[in-house]
Homo-oligomer: A and B are copies of this chain.
Amino acid sequence: MPESRGIGPIDVTHSPFAALQAQAVELREGFWRTRQQLNVGVGLPHGYRKLEESGNFHNLALAAGQIQGQYKGPLFIDSDLYKWLEGVIFTLQAAPDPQLAAMAERAIELIMAAQAPDGYLNTFYQVVEPQNRWKNIHSGHELYCAGHLMQAAVAHVRATGDERLLGVACRFADHIGTIFGPGRLETCCGHPEIETALIELYRLTRRQSYLDMAAYFIDMRGKRTVVSDYGILAYYQDQTPVREATAVVGHAVRQLYLCAGVTDLFLETGEVALLDSQKRLWGDMTTSKMYVTGGVGSRPTTEGFGEKYELPTDTAYCETCAAIASIFWSYRMLLATAESRFADLMESTLYNAFLAGVSLGHDRYFYVNPVLSRGGIERPEWHGCSCCPPNVMRLLASLQHYLCTTSREGIQCHQYAAAKRDTRFASLVLDTVYPWQGICTFRVERTQGAPWELSLRIPGWCTRASLTVNGQAMALTMRRGYAVIMRAWHPGDTVELNLLMEPRLVAGHPNIESVRHCAAITRGPLVYCIEQADLDGATPLLDVRLDGAAPLEAVARPELLGGITMIGAMGRVIDGAAWQERLYQPLAPPTMLRGVRLSAVPYYAWANRSVGAMRVWIPLV
């Protein structure tokens, strides 16, 4: 079956899978379409106004010589606009939107006008410190911003065929090639990002120089060329050569963007040492340095990873960008390995650590995502360092990209968002109210008679899954975490996947100090929390204890928080007043007072009703 231009898969050399372009998938009525529509209707226009207020357009106009004035904001501010623009571009491929198109056009024209004749583009160094171009590689963010420009340019071509931004990006990339490399400037950027971006640019243009440049920047890691003003090479990802790395360290976003780049390099070169290192790092992160929400980064000092099991609830950092970076990385690991555990983590991070980063109204954004609030925490509209909000916008706009892949054998469904998926094997429509219920109904709409495989991920959280094809029960044939159905398909065929979705209590590893004798409530991919908003005023949230033996009850609450399934639980209230005067007392069992009914809401929905206390981990009775 011939591919129509623009919706063909993206070939990744050393993957059994081909990535689907976003426009090959059309979201249908369901959880994620609702959020994506809010992103289009509220988030992206909100972002435009905030970029305007923050000086993004102003700085570009300064660099273009169109106006005179003072530069505004931090030196990496261009990247915010590039990420927002990428979000708009993905949106425009799905449906026309004249207002967003005009906003994007303004941005694109300014970017083109601002680029220096030699290809250089960075408003801070063009306007404020032209004498310091490429002088402050460790914290100047020039290559970082360049990477985000490249990603927007690649999206632009894939989504619309428009090559104007690509021209800017390639000229800049070519200029960078004249600056960095053996015998020239021999170092790497203090904030990884350009590595994965150059490889994406390579996949689109097939210019070997971009792949080589990405490889060069990756190989420079660990040569300790980055002068560290934090005193920590790990922070800048320059402590260890990537092939020797055994642990995720330093600034979380830097580490995970680098991981995405290294995995991309494996995907194009097939060098096993690269993939092996990434498996080690992914194992280190997921078995010792990750919050239950999928959030990462436990040290505010470095916005970074701590020691193994150093996961305090008090000061969890869990930057929204780190969740996004983790999703990018796990997606590439999924392409590299075809193993479901990577899609599992993408799912968990999407529904929890990532989605909590944006308010239900899509006009407020967290940078730091606590798993415990003693009260007073709310999402700001924008940030002084506002990397997260536009990153949320571009991921929401490009969610289609991550739902499924194709291979020589067939179609793999990784994420269960209601959508129509157009592939060369078939049009496949998934109808589901996931994550509220675990029933996923697939209908094959267009296919030929040749047999192909449909692979359906059985999530790690699921203890019982069943399948029917055209109403007939089928045993599950599992491969790398996927139930594989191989048959000759016909239009109208239906597959029903039923994932048992029960509320469940989970415990943390005993070496995690902060969650000892606690449980978190989960259901399906969702992590829940309890909020003061669901307790009466006489019951301080922090005095609540959970009865781990009492049954949990899932209750649909369509009217609440945009429509959720709430989990009811039973607890007790301790006598907090007994501790008023003393911080430490002789050991004695806590005094339990009355029982209390608890109502847990999805973690992503917290802080949308009040600034009261919240906790993910609930101490047990």
A583 touches B287 (CB 8 A): yes
Proximity string of chain A (302-337) to chain B, C-beta cutoff 8 Å, 1 when within and 0 when not: 000011111111110000000000000000000000
Residue of B287, B301, B510, B588 near A300 (CB, 8 A) is B301
Interface residues of A in 553-587 (CB under 8 A from B): 574, 576, 579-587
A510 touches B374 (CB 8 A): no
Q: How far is the CA of A150 from the CA of B579 in the complex (A)?
A: 42
Residues of chain B with a CB closer than 8 A to A312's CB: 312, 314-315, 513-514
Interface residues of A in 344-389 (CB under 8 A from B): 372, 374
A542 at the interface (CB under 8 A from B): yes
A505 at the interface (CB under 8 A from B): yes
A582 touches B287 (CB 8 A): yes
A509 at the interface (CB under 8 A from B): yes
Residues of chain B with a CB closer than 8 A to A506's CB: 584-587
A507 touches B581 (CB 8 A): no
Residues of chain B with a CB closer than 8 A to A516's CB: 516-518, 619
Q: How far is the CA of A506 from the CA of B579 in the complex (A)?
A: 13
Say yes or no: A584-B510 contact (C-beta < 8 A), given A300-B301, A516-B518.
no
Residue of B315, B519, B585 near A315 (CB, 8 A) is B315
Q: How far is the CA of A301 from the CA of B582 in the complex (A)?
A: 27
A286 at the interface (CB under 8 A from B): yes
A586 touches B310 (CB 8 A): no
Residues of chain B with a CB closer than 8 A to A580's CB: 287
Q: How far is the CA of A576 from the CA of B576 in the complex (A)?
A: 33
Q: How far is the CA of A438 from the CA of B438 in the complex (A)?
A: 65
A290 closest partner in B (C-beta): B583
A292 at the interface (CB under 8 A from B): yes
Chain A: interface residue total (CB-CB under 8 A): 55
Residues of chain B with a CB closer than 8 A to A508's CB: 583-584
Residues of chain B with a CB closer than 8 A to A504's CB: 586-587
Q: How far is the CA of A584 from the CA of B584 in the complex (A)?
A: 29
For the complex formed, measure the closest distance between the CB of A501 and the CB atoms of chain B, giving whole angstroms: 14
Q: How far is the CA of A508 from the CA of B587 in the complex (A)?
A: 8
A587 touches B519 (CB 8 A): yes
Interface residues of A in 494-553 (CB under 8 A from B): 504-520, 542-543, 548
Say yes or no: A588-B507 contact (C-beta < 8 A), given A514-B312, A517-B516.
yes
Residues of chain B with a CB closer than 8 A to A93's CB: none
A312 closest partner in B (C-beta): B312
Q: How far is the CA of A298 from the CA of B505 in the complex (A)?
A: 30
A191 at the interface (CB under 8 A from B): no
For the complex formed, measure the closest distance between the CB of A519 and the CB atoms of chain B, giving whole angstroms: 5
Q: How far is the CA of A513 from the CA of B372 in the complex (A)?
A: 10
B510 touches A574 (CB 8 A): yes
A299 at the interface (CB under 8 A from B): yes
Residues of chain B with a CB closer than 8 A to A139's CB: none
B507 touches A307 (CB 8 A): no
A240 at the interface (CB under 8 A from B): no
A507 touches B584 (CB 8 A): yes
Residue of B514, B583, B587 near A505 (CB, 8 A) is B587
A314 touches B306 (CB 8 A): yes
Q: How far is the CA of A301 from the CA of B619 in the complex (A)?
A: 27
Say yes or no: A586-B510 contact (C-beta < 8 A), given A299-B315, A306-B315.
no
For the complex formed, measure the closest distance between the CB of A323 and the CB atoms of chain B, giving whole angstroms: 16
Residue of B507, B574, B590 near A586 (CB, 8 A) is B507
A468 at the interface (CB under 8 A from B): no
B310 touches A509 (CB 8 A): no
Residues of chain B with a CB closer than 8 A to A585's CB: 506-507
Q: How far is the CA of A515 from the CA of B587 in the complex (A)?
A: 12
Say yes or no: A509-B315 contact (C-beta < 8 A), given A301-B300, A516-B516, A516-B517.
no
Residues of A participating in the B interface, judged by any CB pair closer than 8 Å: 286-288, 290, 292, 298-301, 306-315, 372, 374, 504-520, 542-543, 548, 574, 576, 579-588, 590, 619
Q: Which 3 A-B pairs have CB atoms at the shortest separation, nearest pair first?
A: A517-B517, A312-B312, A505-B587
Q: What are 23 sample pairs from A and B whose C-beta atoms fall under 8 A apart?
A: A287-B583, A292-B583, A298-B314, A300-B301, A307-B314, A310-B374, A311-B314, A312-B312, A312-B315, A313-B513, A315-B315, A504-B587, A506-B585, A506-B587, A507-B586, A507-B588, A509-B582, A509-B583, A510-B542, A510-B574, A510-B579, A512-B583, A516-B518
Known: A511-B576, A520-B584. 19 other contacts (CB 8 A): A286-B583, A292-B583, A306-B314, A308-B374, A310-B314, A311-B314, A312-B312, A312-B315, A312-B513, A315-B315, A506-B587, A507-B585, A507-B586, A509-B579, A510-B543, A510-B574, A510-B619, A516-B517, A519-B587
